[in-house]
Structure 1
Amino acid sequence: MADSRPIPRVKICGITSLEDAMVAIGAGADALGFVFYEKSPRYVSVEEAKAIVAQLPPFVERVGLFVDKTPMEVDLACAESGMSLAQIHFEVDESYLHALHTKALPVVRAKAPEDVMNFAGRYRLVDAYCESYGGAGKRLNLEWFKGVDCSKIILAGGLTPENVTETLSYGFYGVDVSSGVEFAKGKKDRTKVETFIRRAKGDACAH
């Protein structure tokens, strides 16, 4: 019997080079993430991201990750770099999201099970809470998502090619990975990227 669950979208975050971007796209990534947070080891400048985006093929979502920036700063950076979506990776409210001209993806940094319902009704990224922002590799407890409508949730935090298949039964809209497919911070491993995407999209027979 065919599986009727939708195929999750996959975002490869922390792209720092055209080479890594093309590896991700070639492997079937639906979205690429660019980190505009200066304290991250995966930080890229607006100019660097623009140079990469200019050479990308069509039909790939470009997501800019922002921490502690005003709506105006986010909009300006997205417009200059060619981002199609702004990932707001810090605590904001609806008024902040409405002030953006760029389409926004709020991030829930979950500390407790009830947190996964923040921004319910919106597409949102749910990550494990940690003091630093992004790429910490800390996993969320999947038990928190039992009985939850995950069709608008993108799961992040500690995902790897080895554990991503554990998420398939929950019906997440998508999954987001950064450190789990790297050989060094900001440097993607081709085999890990390819295996992660294949398994995330439901092919558990990866070799």
Structure 2
Amino acid sequence: MRTRAKICGITRTEDIYAAVNAGVDAIGFVFYAPSPRAVSIEQARVLAQHIPAYVSIVGLFVNATSDEIAQVLAEVSLDILQFHGDETATQCQKIAQENKRRWYKAIQVKADLDVIAEIKQYQQAGASAMLLDAWHPELKGGTGHCFDWEKFPKLDIPLILAGGLTPENIEAAIKTTGAYAVDVSGGVEFAKGIKDQQLIQQFMQGVQRGSAQ
């Protein structure tokens, strides 16, 4: 099975076309104002009109309320919610049910975290997947850092690998982790929120090679 791929932090129409033409499975919009890749609801609404069927639209939220997410959904047809803050499993479940969307949770992998126990909490609450990202004391994603891929668990829930992925390391990352999907942002950019078409193509070629095991 080919590893799925999402490009997150999209802010421009031309980057959507580049991603779709390269074969991505999902495109992510960041609804978190402090992020350099954040988009407004209006920006996302316009951008989403250029995303064709069979390419999923993911909304990334950090400690957002159910009402705030509902405001986005009223204008942008998100397929799935990505919780990337300090949301508990119960909070994720409640917000997703109220907004009638599937969801997954991102967790930052650090030395003192029982990753498997953390994953199982969210899995029991109904997560469709779990995203494992590199830990950073301040940033919520987009760190450009990797964690130890040898510690990537094997569980009965789809696991998404993120953190420090680039065209140069994506093949090895997939072969090492066997991840269901990969999520890249900074690794295919030439500036924050501005993607590079050639890097996107190279990244997706690496995904294909890594999947051919």
SS, match of residue 202 in structure 1:
helix
- Alpha carbons 2:16, 2:50 under 8 Å: kept: no
Would you say 1:76 and 2:71 are equivalent positions?
yes
2:36 is the counterpart of 1:29? no
The partner residue of 1:201 within 199, 205, 208 is: 208
Greater CA drift, 158-167 or 117-126:
117-126
Task: Measure how far apart 1:202 and its partner are.
Answer: 2.1
Letter in 1 for 2:7: I
CA change 1:150–1:14 in 2 (3 A) is: farther
Higher mean Cα deviation, 9-18 or 80-89?
A: 80-89
Query: Which among 141, 151, 160 is matched to residue 144 of structure 1?
Result: 151
Number of residues of Structure 1 aligned to a counterpart in Structure 2 = 199
Instruction: Tell me the CA shift for residue 203 of structure 1.
Output: 6.0
Please, which moves more after superposition, 112-121 or 95-104? 112-121
Q: Are residues 1:165 and 2:164 paired? A: no
Number of the residue aligned with 1:119: 119
Deviations 1:36-95 (A, max 9, x none): 110111110011000011122111110111112112322331342121111100122221
Secondary structure, in 3 states, of the residue corresponding to 2:119?
A: coil
Work out whether residues 46 and 77 of structure 1, in 8 Å CA contact, stay in contact via their aligned partners in 2.
Answer: yes
For 1:39 and 1:150, the matched residues in 2 are separated by 34
TM-score, normalised with respect to structure 2: 0.87
- In the aligned structure 1, how far is the partner of 2:205 from the partner of 2:148? 23
Q: Which residue of 2 is the match for residue 88 of structure 1?
A: 83
Indicate how the Cα distance of structure 1 residues 26 and 96 shifts in structure 2: closer, same or farther if over 3 A, else same. Answer: same
- Structure 2 unmatched runs, 5+: none
Q: Quote the Cα distance in structure 2 between the aligned partners of 1:43 and 1:180.
A: 17
**Whole-angstrom CA distance in 2 between matches of 1:165 and 1:55:** 29
Following superposition, the deviation at residue 104 of structure 1 comes to 1.2
Is the 1:8–1:174 Cα contact (8 Å) retained in structure 2? yes
Residue of 144, 159, 171 corresponding to 1:153: 159
More helix by share: 2
Gaps of 5+ in 1: 1-5
How many angstroms does 1:149 deviate by? 3.0
Equivalent pair of 2:3/2:211 in contact (CA under 8 Å): no
Instruction: Give the Cα–Cα distance (whole angstroms) in 1 for the partners of residues 90 and 112 of structure 2.
Output: 24
- The answer to whether 1:98 aligns with 2:104 is no
Q: CA RMSD in A?
A: 1.9
Distance 2:141 2:71 in 1: 22
- Residue 171 of structure 1 and its aligned partner are, at CA, apart by 1.7
Give the aligned partner of residue 4 of structure 2: 9
Per the alignment, do residues 37 and 161 of structure 1 end up closer, same or farther by CA in structure 2, a change over 3 Å counting?
A: same
TM-score by length of 1: 0.89
Check the 8 A contact 1:150/1:173 in 2, yes or no: no
Same amino acid, percent of matched pairs: 39
